Structure 1
Amino acid sequence: MAVDTSPRSTTWTFVDGEWVEGNPKLIGPTSHAMWLASTVFDGARWFDGISPDLDQHCQRVNRSAVNMGMKPTMTPEEIEALALEGVKKFDGKTAIYIKPMYWAEHGTSYSVVAPDAESTRFALCLFEAPMGTAKPSSLTLSPFRRPSPEVAMTIAKAGSLYPNSGRMIIEAHSRGFDNALALDVNGNVAETASSNIFMVKDGVVMTPIANGTFLAGITRARIIGLLREAGFDVREVTLTPKDFANADEIFTSGNYSKIVPVTKFEERELQEGPVARKALELYMDWARSGGRNDT
């Protein structure tokens, strides 16, 4: 049976020394990544002629590869240069998602389960993806939890972590919500199924403290820094679902959509708050006036 595997938007991928349009077939049934999940990736954005923090995303994908037991085959600087080269293949009208990836082809000589670092492969995929910035979102508490570092590869941006996120989103959608608030193994808030989370109470901005159970994102760190520079009291602390139930304001941060206000948490309606608006304003001002990687 023929299956349509073409991408849903304009896509270019750099692999094995050349740019290929569309969705190249790279992984076979004997590839380690296919059946034993040795994949890592990262995601940066290009929009309006800029790609904020692209250098940091390129550095992180290499760290993820090392943490997964693989050997990076590209330097962060080479990945960054390739990404900016790839951007020129697009018409410049639509935002682009920049996705560097590593995976293993084989297992080691001593165990098929462990990835063979020498078999590491690299691809850089760019595809058109409109920004969902500032589009209000609804949030519910997920029955599923984030794993701890002792039971999952949480020190890498690993593809194997995302089925858990996927089931969180599916379950949330089945109850009429856009996204899910995920707890860690101790019952404290970690993040959402797809982004980092912030809340505001009595003027204080709070976000869960990084504890190894979730990816403390590059955009999250940027927002924390910008808000602090603007005079906000921003604290990384342990937070519970009750804290979010009583919050004055909730918003998320992430590379894909940057800042998203939460206008409904469980059955409680919230207004799009001034801190979320200010965070987005600060981020865009920073990106457009001094952020690296301008094209």
Structure 2
Amino acid sequence: MTAWTFFNDDWHEGNPLIMGPMHHAPWLASCVFDGARAFEGVAPDLDRHCQRLVNSAISFGLNPTKNAKEIEQLARDGIARFDKSAALYIRPMFWANDGFVDVDPDSTQFSVSVYDAAIPEPTGMSLILSKFRRPSYDFAPTDAKAACHYPNSARAMREAKARGYENAVMLDALGHVSELATANIFYARNAEVFTPVPNGTFLNGITRQRVIGLLRDEGIKVHEHSVCFNDLLEADEVFSTGNWAKVAPITRLEDRDFQPGPMYQKARDLYWAYAHRTQN
């Protein structure tokens, strides 16, 4: 892997030391981040990812030391260090160095890392229904994309892998489908698309929002509503959206097999066309 990180006003190759054992972030989990993609010479919605990072930092009581436009420019400087055709992951972060339980906002630090990471091939993903659930805003800072949420995702992923699957559907406290351990989820029936309505238990993903808008612009009905697990089992097709794999088909859900369907293919094709049309 080739990686470049901007930290303390300079670019560093590899995996530079950016925090230590006495800092707040590794001790008390004050790190927020975002993830964007560059591929095939484009970086779709990079500006929105940078703005979401700033919003996450504010949610955590941090003092964002750079605004979204400054973060975007640094990210583009990092992208320029790679071949134009490279598939890259772009990960800006804010965190606190000091504070006790709550953060000291004046100690806020910033970095942005850009590194090569292939987009997974859309060969299909297998899912279980996890026993672990997503918290709501009154239980956790679910309005931020933050490192502290990922141990919960990790145990759902471990549960899935122990059963021979790749990922997991996670419910909210009321038993409705929230999202996957690592992505947002959609299903289709009778040429209409359905996805869980944002209810404070998951991030309203940037790729999710983009795909919904693109499908609706094509005249396809997209319904955001409460989803039960049986709705997924009875679907014609299921697919996911997220920054890591963008738009990907689900081919197995517990004991039910699926084929990549026309709504998945339409969503993926529309997203790729959008990415190249905007030349972000």
Please give the range of the TM-score, normalised by the shorter of the 2 chains: over 0.9
Consecutive unaligned residues in structure 2, runs of 5 or more:
none
Aligned residue among 191, 194, 212 for 2:200: 212
SS state of the match for residue 98, structure 1? strand
d(CA) in 2 for partners of 1:278 and 1:93?
A: 24
Distance in 2 separating the partners of 1:198 and 1:135: 17
Q: 2:230 aligns with which of 237, 242, 246?
A: 242
Shift of 1:204: 1.6
Task: Say if 2:64 is the partner of 1:72.
Answer: yes
Offset of 1:133 from its aligned partner? 4.6
2:33 to 25, 32, 41: 41
**1:84-103 C-alpha deviation (Å, 9 max, x unpaired):** 11111113343000000000
SS at match of 1:251: strand
Instruction: State the match for 1:89 in structure 2.
Output: 81
Q: Distance in 2 between matches of 1:102 and 1:233?
A: 38
The Cα of 1:153 is off from its aligned counterpart by 1.2
Identity, % of aligned positions:
49
Whether the 8 Å contact between 1:44 and 1:57 is mirrored in structure 2 is: yes
Equivalent in 110, 123, 141 of residue 111 of structure 2? 123
Match of 1:103 in 2: 95
CA contact (8 A) 1:41 1:99 kept: yes
Separation of aligned partners in 2, 1:221 and 1:133: 22
From 159, 172, 176, give the equivalent of 2:147.
159
RMSD: 0.8
In structure 2, what is the Cα distance between the partners aligned to 1:54 and 1:141? 32
Q: Which residue does 2:247 correspond to in 1?
A: 259
SS in 2 for 1:225: helix
Aligned to 1:177: 165
Deviation at 1:255, TM superposition (A): 1.0
Are 1:134 and 2:122 matched, yes or no? yes
Write out the 4+ residue segments of structure 1 that deviate beyond 6 Å after TM superposition: none
State the AA in 2 paired with 1:261. Answer: P
Q: Distance in 1 between matches of 2:182 and 2:137?
A: 18
Note if contact 2:134-2:172 (Cα within 8 Å) is conserved in structure 1. yes
Note the alpha carbon deviations across 1:133-166, whole angstroms, 9 max, x for none.
Answer: 5231011100100011111110100100000001
**Whole-angstrom distance in 1 between the partners of 2:182 and 2:171:** 13
Q: Aligned partners of 2:245 and 2:182: how far apart in 1?
A: 10
3-state DSSP of counterpart to 1:49: coil
Q: What SS class does the counterpart of residue 100 from structure 1 fall into? A: strand
CA–CA separation in structure 2 for the residues paired with 1:76 and 1:290: 19
3-state DSSP of counterpart to 2:187:
strand
Counterparts of 2:27 and 2:96 in 1: how far apart (Å)? Answer: 11
Shift in Å, 1:222 = 0.2
Contact 1:206/1:235 (8 A) holds in 2 = yes
- Give the letter aligned to residue 148 of structure 1: S
1:133–1:259: 8 Å Cα contact kept in structure 2? no
Contact between 2:41 and 2:86, CA under 8 Å: does it hold in 1?
no
Where 1:143 maps in the other structure, the secondary structure is strand
Q: TM-score, normalised by structure 1?
A: 0.93
Contact 2:125 2:167 in 1 (8 A): yes
Query: In terms of mean alpha carbon deviation, does 84-93 or 57-66 score higher?
Result: 84-93
Counterpart residue number, 1:4: none
Aligned length: 280
Q: In 2, distance between residues paired with 1:163 and 1:278? A: 33
Shift of 1:203: 1.7
Q: Match for 2:41: what amino acid?
A: G
